[in-house]
Amino acid sequence: KARRDQINAEIRALRDLLPLPEGDRPRLSYLHVMALACIYTRKGACLRPGPARGAPMELLGGPELADLVASL
């Protein structure tokens, strides 16, 4: 039970870190929180901003991608 409580507390903390409006966060299930956290992590790890503000995101390539895969 203590382990489950610790996991639930971590998921609640993760929910608070998601870039969503305050009103939407409490309605998310734990499964939704985990799915959104994975999506935002993949987006941040695999894409980088373009050279100009508002430019499309670019995929990582070469050494950057190799470093990411090695760290995983």
Hey, CA dihedral for 17, 18, 23, 26, is it positive or negative?
negative
Q: How far apart are CA 19 and CA 24, in angstroms?
A: 10
- pLDDT at site 7: 92
Q: Which residues of the chain have pLDDT under 50?
A: none
The pLDDT value given to residue 4: 94
Predicted structure pTM score: 0.54
